[in-house]
Amino acid sequence: MADEGDGKRPLLRVVPGGSEGSARREEEALLAAFLVGDDEAFGALVRRHEKLVLSLVRRYARTPEDARDLAQRTFLRAFEAARRALRRGVLEEGAVPFRRWLIRIAVNLGKNHLRDALRFTHTSLESVPEERLGTEPPGAAAALEHAQRAARVRAAVLELPRRQREVLTLRVDAELPFAEVAAALSITENAARVSFHHALQKLKALVGEDSL
Amino acid sequence: MKPECRDLEVLRSLAAAGALDGDEAARLAAHLAGCPACRAAEQADRALLDLVKLPPPGPAEALATADLPARALAALRARGRRRHALLRFGTAGGVALAVAAAVLLLLAPVLFRDRAPEPPAVAQAGWQEPDVDALWTESAVLELSDDAASTGDTWGDDALAAYDAWAGE
């Protein structure tokens, strides 16, 4: 590895999972720079992906600080994984599926955080719809009722079976295409689509269709 | 529910999520145009997914996450410092242990030469000529003595005197 003093830059290629062209080359260059010791490249990569990662972890966070800490841990683990993969030479043809790693790590950390948080009273960020309430139809009662329905549905999302929850949140929270959802979870695209459908059906059963 | 409706359930869910296009979207649209039940179901799915969505980040959340890149970078650098410190400590400790082991090997003959283990007591006990006289004395049941009283010869003398008196001597 280059940061071990052999003087060679690592041969690697980032697989950003959808973005093409110059953005992809930029990301390759940034990750390569980070892996040879350029910490500023790390900051640039965080800025590039922070929206995606935050969108994934905030569903599991109880406070804004929770979301920030989960996102930070996601980035550190992904970079550590990239560094180790390069050191051990396990990269396939030099490719680093960095964005895919970020998604996977964010989902796993969120799941673990949820597991830990369930030991206490869980109040996630979505139960504080500070801006959403303002967009509701006029009338405090209607707004309150809508907020309560939303809170019930979002609580039910966290009760879904793991695979269904992952597929649903990757699609809804991160707005990923199903091909990328499938790649992140190492399943087929068709399996991801069917899991999404099952998640919706299960959600309806959990909250009761008449409450919608 | 008609069989065709059942066949299109997955596509309906995907359409509610805005993830359908091309031939599949056209096929579903054709079905929905003539199936009020599926149209209603699709609207219900859209409403449900709308409730699943998280509200956009509020000011507090935006503020808390504004410095994420700087914080992450600081954490990365701190982690690097800890790793290097551990590496240095580990290297120094390893060198110290190696030096200590080498010194111990060199000094081992000196350290342990004068501390040869003493032979066990059994090994020390060799054959010695026994002192026969002492053995005899120690093992004697009766102590021999010239003193008549102590030897019982008095009884013999008295008997002899009595015999002499009877015999008229």
Choose the weakest-confidence range: A103-107, A203-207, B9-13, B155-159.
B155-159
A125 closest CB neighbour out of B10, B53, B54:
B54
Q: What pLDDT, on the 0 to 100 scale, is given for residue A54?
A: 96
- pTM of the complete model: 0.67
d(CA B96, CA B81): 22
CATH topology of domain A1-122: Rna Polymerase Sigma Factor; Chain: A (1.10.1740)
**Closest-CA residue in chain A for B54?**
A126
The pLDDT of B151-167, averaged and rounded, is 59
Query: A46 and B49 in contact by Cβ < 8 A?
Result: no
Number of other CB atoms surrounding residue A88 within 10 Å? 9
* DSSP strand pairing (A95-96 vs A13-14): parallel
| The most confident of A11-15, A52-56, B56-60, B113-117, by mean pLDDT | A52-56
Give B40's contacts in chain A (Cβ within 8 Å): none
DSSP state of B105: H
- Please indicate if any CB of chain B lies within 8 Å of the CB of A202: no
Q: Where are the domains of chain A?
A: 1-122
Mutate to test the interface with B, among A197, A198, A203, A204 (most CBs of B within 10 A): A197
Tokens in use for B98? Answer: 């190696």
d(CA A186, CA A182): 6
Give me the residues paired with residue A91 across strands: none
d(CA A10, CA B97): 35
Query: B14 and A197 in contact by Cβ < 8 A?
Result: yes
Specify the 3-state DSSP secondary structure of A94: helix
Choose the weakest-confidence range: A49-58, A164-173, B91-100, B121-130.
B121-130
d(CA A102, CA A75): 7
pLDDT tens profile A118-139: 665 445 555 545 545 455 555 7
pLDDT tens profile B15-52: 999 999 899 999 999 999 999 999 999 999 999 999 99
Cβ distance A151 to A127 under 8 Å?
Answer: yes
Q: What pLDDT, on the 0 to 100 scale, is given for residue A9?
A: 47
Query: A197 and B13 in contact by Cβ < 8 A?
Result: yes
The more confidently predicted of residues B169 and B18 is: B18
